[in-house]
Structure 1
Amino acid sequence: MWKSGFKWMFLIIGTTIGAGYASGRELWEFFGHGSGLAIVLFVIFFSISCFVIMSISYRKKSTEYRPVLKVIVGEKLSPVYDVMIFLYLFTTTVVMLSGSGATGQAFNLPYWVGILFIAITLVVLFSKDITGLLSINQVILPILIIGLLYVLLTFTFDQKLHLFSHWHEQFNWASAFPFTALNILPLIAVLGAVGNKMASKKEIWIASIGSGLTLGVVTYVYNNSLIQISEQILVYEIPLFAILSNYPFYMVLFMTILLWFAIFTTAASGVLGLTTRLNGYFKLPFWLLVVLILATMIPLTTFGFSTLIGILYPLYGLLNLYVLTRLLLFPLWDKKKTN
């Protein structure tokens, strides 16, 4: 039970902590000053949403996201959100590929080298179906979370920052809604693809609460650090490197590797959602479908990492607010429907 619960927890975190999140760019788009309460609300909303999505997936024993989506938004709107999820997964995976290119540039590698490297690694990962993704998440994610917290807390102590000094300002609480909404759509796609692999309700509780609390702690500490370097963020494509600017090269190297792992796990989750959705239409080997999807994405990475995040993420966050509302109120209208 605990092992399975942590397996799904790491899948959720791996889907959420991507290039935008781990680099700090996504957090700065939504949070910043006066966001302590917003982050607490995000933890609550996110945990509830994960629990509802997983419960529906478990009930439906789903192998792709459409049956879950129909329950959440209804028969009439499900085709609309089906297209939106597909476009979301496609464009955010493009962002991950672009993020890999930007990460490579930190070591003076050409932009396209970082993109090709992650594309080839994704094909290798999915050469053995989805089991490779679940296995690698359980190794990568604990290292990523511990490493990220280590760097952020080191920065906090070195700069003598107070973790709760900004609690008197809570004017940005409403940002919890679009930020949670932004991260929900890929979870429907990914968790909807593994409903037939869930064994009990207990592992759903572990995964939903554990992922919400873990992401909440990391988000709060990260946001607190970003506030201190707010004037430098405009200069950096990846805000995390502004935090690391005064640290030795080995720490920069360590965090760059972790950042790439974050990009990789989210790209893998996006590809999982896309391939399980298209699998019914194209009778192709799983790995070949991955190759074809990635081949269509690579030309779009020329738009740049921060540009893609700045335009797409806030837009998706607003469009997904209806889905978030349905998830948060699900126990009420589902009970009414069954009576």
Structure 2
Amino acid sequence: METKNSISSYKIATAYIGTIVGAGFASGQEVLQFFGVFGIWGLIGIILITGMFAVFGYGIMKVAKKIKADSHLPVIREVSGAKIGYLIDIVITAFLYGAVVTMAAGMGAIFLEEFNLSQTLGSAVLLGLTLVTVLFGIKGVLSTLSVVVPILMLTVLTISVASIATNWGTLMGNLSWTATEQAPVPFWPMSALIYTSYNIVIAIAVLAPLGLMASDENMKKGAILSGIGLGMGAGIITAAILANVPQVLTVEVPMLLIAGQVSPLLRVFYTVALIAGVYTTAVACLYGFGARVISPESVNFKYLVVGASVIAFFLSGVGFSSLVGILFPAVGYAGLLLLGSLTYTMLKGYQVNFSQYFNLWRLPGVGYRKLLTGNEKEQNKRRRNKN
């Protein structure tokens, strides 16, 4: 039975998945660059991330529960130490701002590819609305994230399944296709690891408090459900992308092209959902970035977010696909510090007592003979019996 201090595995899974599947994921560009370009090997890479999301998600919640952490900062410091923990916190803050820039570029791409309007206009409109919302009405928008994201993902998965069904023969023929020269991370197992890494860097802020509120059994089940859900979602989108290559390589928002091939009406619905997803993601990230740098109650908070928005406008000119290919891998490589520390911490919790074997190395002569030939007394007894 669920109590005040015990949340269900389902709630853990929905919170975990909801943190990771945002507008970048739903656009298809993120999945294309990290998995689609590797063909069938990308699908195998998705099997790897399924396991890694489950293992690392559970590990974070387990550590949080052990040290009774109510935020991600104590967890990071527990597994990485103060200095590395501080560095990882900087990476998280930088990624939040980078996400604002990426969403601005993404809105520019939507304006160009869907409405045939200027990318600059799209970026300016998004950042203007985002800034106004952060300064005057963020609470209502943040609450809509829990509604917008599920609708967006349901739409994306519906489009993907429909595209796979109508292009099954093409999908089977394209499994051997690759475009690794366009991959931001050139080796598919490493691409899967980097993808997991940068997503865990963001998800830890949600996973740590969950660990304090859930039982160990629910943490395990929730982590496993999350891994399966994220893996299935990425796998379905990757399959849809492979059913539409190489056409999807020529656009900034692959799912827009795929949606249009399935149904013009579905494309319109997807566009509306994607715009809402990009907007709410940008609002959450801009507010999160500002709040980590300075208190939202401070008079300087508004100057910070205004300045950050202006700079983001100019940076968004780099382009959506380019930003996904630069920012996400960079954060992923930096996040390996966290994954490495977390792996070490988790392994310490499952130590096997090898001391009985290591003691042999302290007695070179007798030790090696025991290891290789068994007990010396038994050896002498066998020799006497033989004689």
Calculate the TM-score normalised by the size of structure 1: 0.81
Corresponding residue of 2:105 = 98
In the alignment, structure 1 residue 199 sits paired with structure 2 residue 213: yes
Moved more, 256-265 or 230-239: 256-265
Separation in 2, partners of 1:139, 1:328: 34
1:279 CA displacement: 4.1
- Greater Rg, structure 1 or structure 2? 2
Q: Answer yes or no: is 1:29 the counterpart of 2:33.
A: yes
Partner of 2:377: none
**Equivalent-residue separation in structure 2 for 1:47 and 1:167 (angstroms):** 27
| Separation in structure 2 between the aligned mates of residue 121 and residue 46 of structure 1, nearest angstrom | 30
Deviations 1:255-304 (A, max 9, x none): 11232344345434433542442245973598886555434423321211
Closer/same/farther in 2, CA of residues 17 and 311 from structure 1, 3 Å limit: same
Pick the aligned partner of 1:246 from 229, 249, 261: 261
Equivalent residue, structure 1, for 2:331: 316
1:234 is the counterpart of 2:249: yes
The residue correspondences of 1:1-339 to structure 2 (distance < 5 A) are 1=2, 6=10, 9-32=13-36, 33=39, 34-57=41-64, 59-63=67-71, 65-105=72-112, 106-119=114-127, 120-121=129-130, 123-124=132-133, 133=142, 135-161=143-169, 172-191=188-207, 195=209, 199-201=213-215, 204-205=219-220, 207-271=222-286, 273-280=288-295, 283-284=298-299, 293-333=308-348
Shift of residue 190, structure 1, vs aligned partner: 4.9
Deviations 1:112-171 (A, max 9, x none): 4433444425753785676852x32332232222211111111111113598899999x9
Moved more, 9-18 or 140-149: 9-18
Q: Quick check: which one's helix share is greater?
A: 2
Determine what percentage of the aligned residue pairs are the same residue.
Answer: 28
Counterpart CA distance in 2 for 1:127 and 1:191 is 29
Q: Indicate conservation of the 8 Å contact 1:14/1:269, yes or no.
A: no
The one-letter amino acid paired with 1:108 is N
Residue 35 of structure 1 aligns to a residue whose secondary structure is helix
Residue 231 to residue 219, structure 1, CA distance change in 2 (3 Å): same
Q: Which moved more, 1:235-244 or 1:109-118?
A: 109-118
**Match for residue 384 of structure 2?**
none
Count of aligned positions: 332
Supply the distance in 2 between the matched residues of 1:61 and 1:129 (Cα, whole angstroms).
26
Where structure 1 has 5 or more consecutive residues not aligned to the other structure, the ranges are none
* Contact preservation (8 Å) 2:152, 2:273: yes
Partner of 1:283: helix, strand, or coil?
coil
Structure 2 residue identity aligned to 1:226: I
CA deviation map 1:232-266 (0-9, x unaligned): 13311112133234343211111112323443454
Unaligned 5+ runs, structure 2: 178-186, 352-387
Partners of 2:104 and 2:123 within 8 A in 1: yes
CA separation of 1:52 and 1:28: change in aligned 2, threshold 3 A: same
* TM-aligned CA distance change 1:86 to 1:107, over 3 Å: same
Task: Specify the SS of the correspondent of 1:244.
Answer: helix
Bigger relative contact order (CA 8 A; separation at least 6): 1
SS of match in other structure, 2:168:
coil
Is the 2:105–2:319 contact (alpha carbons within 8 Å) kept by the matching residues of 1?
yes
